[in-house]
Amino acid sequence: MDSELAARLGEALRARNWRLATAESCTGGSLTAAVTAIAGSSSWFERGFVTYSNESKVELLGVSPATLARHGAVSEETACEMLAGALAHSHADIAATITGIAGPDGGSPGKPVGTVCLAWQQRHGDAFVETRHFPGDREAVRSQATAAALEHLIALAADTASA
């Protein structure tokens, strides 16, 4: 399924001459892997950041330590700052970020395993962010988060094209 979604995204981005950047935490690069598995993705994939630790989010993407302290790594605020950093530190036209708790450990009553925050944006456009709760084990959470990010990027590219 991810390969079909990634191929659709590639077609949409190639038609617009857009390039993509990704910033991932809990998915550990699976979004990047899905898009780079598509032949010819070098024409539309610009770069990916795997920022698993809080330190890497701060150093590579410019996420504020205050945001991490106040809201945590798994928050819409952090996802939005990751998104801003991915666009600021790339030449991409569109970007998506994923941060969450894939499990089996790390959850809390307020943020159970399966909580994932996604953000996506076309450069100079509005940023979108959502929190989802995906069921299943670690692999299922990561897979669903990757698919959701791809779907959001496809929809954004389609919406922008028709606007």
Host domain of residue 78? 2-158
Domain count along the chain: 1
Q: Is residue 61 part of a domain?
A: yes
Phi, psi of 114 (to 5 degrees): 100, -5
CATH number at residue 32: 3.90.950.20
Instruction: Please tell me the pTM assigned to this model.
Output: 0.96
Q: Is residue 163 part of a domain?
A: no
Q: Is residue 94 part of a domain?
A: yes
Q: Is residue 64 part of a domain?
A: yes
Helix (H) or strand (E) holding 24: strand 20-24
Task: Output the DSSP codes for 85-135.
Answer: HHHHTS--SEEEEEEE--SSS---SSS-TTEEEEEEEETTS-EEEEEEE--
Q: Is residue 54 part of a domain?
A: yes
Q: Is residue 112 part of a domain?
A: yes
Say yes or no to pLDDT of 162 above 70.
no
13-34: per-residue pLDDT in tens? 999 999 999 999 999 999 999 9
Q: Is residue 128 part of a domain?
A: yes
Q: Which residues contact 73 (CB under 8 A, 6 or more apart)?
A: 25, 54, 57, 99
> Residue 160 — pLDDT band, cuts 50, 70, 90?
low
Average pLDDT over residues 79-86: 98
Q: Is residue 43 part of a domain?
A: yes
